[in-house]
Structures are given as C-alpha cells and as structure tokens.
Amino acid sequence: ETGVTQSPTHLIKTRGQQVTLRCSSQSGHNTVSWYQQALGQGPQFIFQYYREEENGRGNFPPRFSGLQFPNYSSELNVNALELDDSALYLCASSLAWGRANTGELFFGEGSRLTVL
C-alpha cells in the first residue's frame, strides 16, 4: 500500500506566475483535500474533491482551483501568484466517512512553494 505522494517537493515562482501541484492519493482512497500551511500556522482548508467533483471549499479566491482524476489523484492550480501564497501545500487523502472509520486524513509531505 503506497502512501500519499506529492510533487514537486520544493519550487520557486515569481509573482503573477501560475503553478500546478500534484498529489497521488493512498490506494483505495476516493477523497482528496488540499491545505495551505503558512509558517507557524495550522493547515488552512482550501478544498476537497470526492469522485472528481469539488465537495467543499474554504475561504480561498477562485484563482485557487483543482482537479481530481478517475484514479483519484489530484492537482492544485494557483494562478496569478502573490507573495502571500508562499506556504507549504499539503494534500490529504481519505475514505468517505463511514460509521466504522475515524475520517482520518492521510497527508503527503507537502510541496513548499516560495513566491518571489
């Protein structure tokens, strides 16, 4: 069973550019959530995808968008990058909640984005 993998691990962009971050979910998981974590802060919920549809969104502007593919892998796209977008971007996969499970999120190691 492979865990959640994210790519790239680190990247540097300049203001106004666009970035795509990728995530492969854990085997068997049909739900992917994306989080932004600034230094010293808790992870902030961006959005969640369930079976290729967006299934909830946090307080992020439309220039943050995503996709989920039939194999449940996912992408996070950010357009018109701003300096404040510099953060660790975390992807987490999970099973849709059921009575027998805990709804736990399985996180990848994150993609560290620096915007100059």
Q: In this structure, are residues 74 and 7 in contact, taking their beta carbons and an 8 Å threshold?
A: no
Six-digit token pair at 109?
């190691």
Smallest Cα–Cα separation from 93: which of 34, 9, 25, 43? 25
When binding is defined by CB under 8 A, the residue of 64, 72, 107, 115 that contacts other proteins is 107
When binding is defined by CB under 8 A, the residue of 43, 66, 76, 113 that contacts other proteins is 43
Told to check if 56 binds other proteins by CB under 8 A, we report yes
Told to check if 95 binds other proteins by CB under 8 A, we report no
**Contact stretch for other proteins (CB under 8 A) within 12-20, 64-72, 79-87, 100-108:** 100-108
Told to check if 42 binds other proteins by CB under 8 A, we report yes
φ, ψ (nearest 5 deg) of residue 86: -65, 120
